[in-house]
Structure 1
Amino acid sequence: MTTVEELSTPVAVVSGGSRGLGRALVERLLADGWRVATFSRNPNEFTETTAEKYRSSFLWEPVDLNDTTAVRGFGRTAAQYFGRIDLLVNNAGVLHQELFLTTAPARMDNIIGTNLLAPLHLSQSCARFMMRDKSGAIVNISSINAVRGYRGVAVYAAAKAGLEGLGRALARELGPLGIRVNTLTPGFFDSDMTATVTSENRDKIQRRTPLGRLGTVEEIADAVLFLASPQAQFITGQTLVIDGGITC
């Protein structure tokens, strides 16, 4: 049986929480006393050991970002399982690099679906539960590809730019309901997405970055958790770029 104390413990929904930034956020939130619900396409050692360690505070389910019915259903499942939703981090996304003129229509649909439509559906599902308590926060994870043009990522950039526009519009619409919406736009940082970057290109990125290095997952997680924290209670509708200055 869920205790009164457990019901008052905040709940975070983090998409794509099995690895990378999503995993770091899940670990940090659980360590800070949150209850966390997350999904990914497949389980892994992290999701299995975390479920064992945090039996009453952690929920994981398999969800494909392109299955909008399942994405919406996960928001409902998290709310029913924990009794509330206080934070949503739209973290999950897929980067595909290919010249625009050779990108197949089905691939375009997939990129837009995973990076824009899935966050749209999950945000609506979770916000409907947040509005009951007249409080909550949504943090969308974008990319500097939405800020500055790069070759080979046109469709991905379009999806992430749409996500930033979504954040501003939702901040206006959901603000009167006590729900804050912000966007975090990371630059290049060590992750699964940058693991395939060649050493030559990595050197170029570092030379072009005023701080002279790539970011870390923990630095990006710090910024996400700040936007979700009480210290950011008067911040909404904003896009926070964390990129070491590469877009300045």
Structure 2
Amino acid sequence: MRPAAGDGDTQTPSRKVAVVSGGSRGLGRTLVERLLADGWRVATFSRRANEFTTAMSEAHPDDFHWEQADLGEPEAMRAFARTVGRRFGRTDLLVNNAGMLHQELLLTTPSKRIDSLITNNLTAPILLTQACARLMTRHGGNIINISSINAIRGFRGVSVYAAAKAGLDGFSRSLARELGAFNIRVNSIVPGFFDSDMTADVTERNRERIQHRTPLGRLGTADEIADAILFLTSARAHFVTGQSIVIDGGITC
């Protein structure tokens, strides 16, 4: 019987390697912390280092890797994956977490901004996935794409962002078909509104409106989104692939 997807080397679980894009803050930071605590080796990138990435490098010199990379430069994704392969020798988990949100009506959005939104939220994750999946074909793996409820529910001023995230969901489903034969699972997590850098600028009035429209009556937390992601990495999710799992407190129901 072949090993379950995402298990990696079951004899030495500490050798499991996770790649998390945008792991310097927000949800990415939460995932880095929790994966390290669970015994994973973790590689991540962001546009610049900060106190967190420096602290993790010092605390986990053998198990944590950070380097500077920008989603806006898609070729950097392939270079980052090559570096991870050289340092850790494998990749068992990829979480495409990093992204960029810009709110503006389509009629006034410059073409360069449109290109940037598509590159950051769709093209770069696809290229990073391609590079990491090539490593995963040797032993199986797990790919989790972080989408958004904007992909399934229309909101004013985010049409290009929504298009990119909807593309990421479609990419996940089709890729699950392609990679299943290699024992690689592919799913997407579709978060609703939760406390993060992207919602930090939401006015108190709009926050109250969101909470009022949410059946559970509040915004989510990064840990609650991370719970769903970590479930997909666990033994309880070995038969789950090609799915988009909505974690939104019920706002889209």
Decide: shared fold, TM above 0.5. yes
Match in the other structure for 1:221:
226
Match of 1:9 among 15, 35, 38: 15
Alignment of 1:122-133 (within 5 A): 122-133=128-139
Deviation at 1:6, TM superposition (A): 7.0
Once the two structures are superposed, residues 22-78 of structure 1 have per-residue CA deviations (whole angstroms, 9 ceiling, x without a partner) of: 000000000000000000000000000100000000000000101111111111111
Is the Cα–Cα contact under 8 Å of residues 21 and 221 in structure 1 kept in the other structure?
Answer: yes
| 1:119 alignment partner AA | P
**Structure-2 separation of matches of 1:87 and 1:229:** 11
| Partner Cα distance (1:141, 1:212) in 2 | 23
Contact 1:137 1:228 in 2 (8 A): yes
> Map of 1:164-183 to 2, 5 A cutoff?
164-183=169-188
Aligned equivalents of 1:238 and 1:39: distance in 2? 26
Task: Look up the equivalent residue of 1:173 and give its one-letter code.
Answer: E
Match of 2:41 in 1: 35
The two structures have a TM-score, normalised by structure 1, of: 0.96
Which of 69, 75, 81 is 1:75 aligned to? 81
Structure 2 SS opposite 1:155: helix
1:199-218 alignment runs, 5 A limit: 199-218=204-223
The percentage of counterpart residues that share the same residue type is 66
The DSSP-based 3-state class of the residue aligned with 2:138 is helix
| Structure 1: unaligned runs, 5 residues or longer | none
Q: Distance in 1 between matches of 2:62 and 2:233?
A: 22
- Within 5 A, what are the aligned runs for 1:185-204? 185-204=190-209
Code of the aligned partner of 2:111: P
Q: CA–CA distance in 1 between the matches of 2:138 and 2:39?
A: 22
Separation (CA, whole Å) in 2 of partners of 1:187 and 1:8: 32
The two structures have a TM-score, normalised by structure 2, of 0.94
Residue 8 of structure 1 and its aligned partner are, at CA, apart by 6.0
Q: Aligned partners of 1:95 and 1:213: how far apart in 2?
A: 21
Which among 135, 142, 162 is matched to residue 137 of structure 1? 142
Tell me the residue number matched to 1:66.
72
Corresponding residue for 1:101? 107
CA contact (8 A) 1:7 1:82 kept: no
Post-superposition shift, 1:85?
0.4
Look up the match of 1:46: 52
Task: Output the CA distance in 1 between the equivalents of 2:168 and 2:213.
Answer: 26
Residue 230 of structure 1: how far off its partner (Å): 1.7
8 Å contact kept, 2:187–2:241: yes
Distance 1:62 1:6 in 2: 29
- Which of 65, 88, 91 pairs up with 1:85? 91
